[in-house]
A = this chain, B = another copy of it.
Amino acid sequence: MGNIVSRKEVAELAGVSEATVSRVLNATGPIKEDTRKRVLDVANQLGYVPSALARNFARSKSGHLGVVMPYVPKAHLFSAYFFSEMLSGIGNKARDSGLDLLLLFRKPGERMDYSSLFRQQKVDSCIILGARDEHDEVEALKRLQQEGRPFCVMNHHFEGQSFCEVDADHVEGSRAAVSHLIEQGCKRIAFLNGPDIYSNSTERLKGYLIALQEAGIEYDHELILEGNYSRRSGLEASATIADKLDDIDAVFAANDRMALGVMQGLRERGLAVERFPAFVGYDDSDAAEMAVPPLSSVRVPFYEMGELAASKLIPDSQDLTPALELTGCDLIRELLSTELIIRASSIRQ
């Protein structure tokens, strides 16, 4: 049982050639309905399953959509939420194109050799998560682009490059968040941002500045703090915030985890919730609505971003646009819009 059933056996039993079996199973070329049925029957009966491995080899296509995961030490810098959403979106799209997802974890120190991934024929195209502005990284991607490889960067923008990128509009997301705080009457808004190797961080800062400007509020760099997107870094930042509590009436954090870290820190310092500054986080992760008080946050359509990124790498089944083949990928940066979710943490009456 469970033995390997070869295409040859099917061909023999059906009284046709192997080529015909192939044609039937791939629904390619003209086939007499009669033989089609016969072959299908035999194949079914014998339990023949074509080898994807051999097929891909013959086509010299791996059949894989690679997903490069950033290296994050056991403490999850990025929220798990973030990734599982994106992955689901990607996987969903890939699946109905018959592509499989190959997960690629970056090694701790080592820089990723994207080009090799393709030359090894491990992937036909790939999506890069958690990219950052580092020299080696940019060079590797530039090379990839030169080689005409289809790839898409998610959630990061490389300034000055024209990579295929899918991102959310964090400038607008942050602007909306901060404007909301201002509308609530806040004027001294602390901003706990992430490291600026992530374009996400610099974009958020832009949005923050725009909101202030729109409201005619002067920018005070003393209000800018830097964390690393972890809860711990929020906890640490809470020390600074606690100190300036009478000079701060709101905190905008670049993600929910840091926001919650700050809240936790203030709480541990004995500050009553009623005396909390107004809070807005970012990502609208699960934790936001479970927080006390429920945390206002900027929702990012991670799932949809995943779908979009995948679909940019998948040859359109309807109209074949060979243009993609040449350019490797649309050289377009697409921004999905975010949505501000208002909860108790930012409401001042």
Contact = CB atoms under 8 A, between A and B. Distances in A.
A303 interface: yes
Interface in A262-316: 264, 267, 286-287, 289-292, 303
A143 B2 CA distance: 9
Interface string A64-91: 1001010000101001110111011001
A84 B291 CA distance: 22
Interface residues of A, number: 60
Contact of A120 (B52, B87, B95, B292): B52
A213 interface: no
Contacts of A146: 1-2
Nearest to A53: B121
Contacts of A116: 49
Given A87-B103, A103-B91, A52 B121 contact: yes
A98 to B, nearest CB: 11
Contact of A290 (B52, B102, B264): B264
Contacts of A104: 100-101
B76 A84 contact: yes
Contact of A52 (B49, B122, B148, B257): B122
A236 interface: no
A99 to B, nearest CB: 11
A51 B105 CA distance: 20
A188 B51 CA distance: 58
Copies in the complex: 2
Contacts of A92: 105
Interface string A106-144: 010000000110011110000000000000000000010
B84 A80 contact: yes
Contacts of A156: none
A15 interface: no
A196 B102 CA distance: 33
A60 B100 CA distance: 18
B57 A286 contact: no
A272 B58 CA distance: 67
Interface string A235-270: 000000000000000000000010011001001000
A111 to B, nearest CB: 15
13 contacts: A1-B146, A4-B119, A51-B119, A67-B103, A74-B303, A80-B81, A80-B84, A87-B103, A91-B103, A100-B102, A100-B104, A231-B290, A286-B287
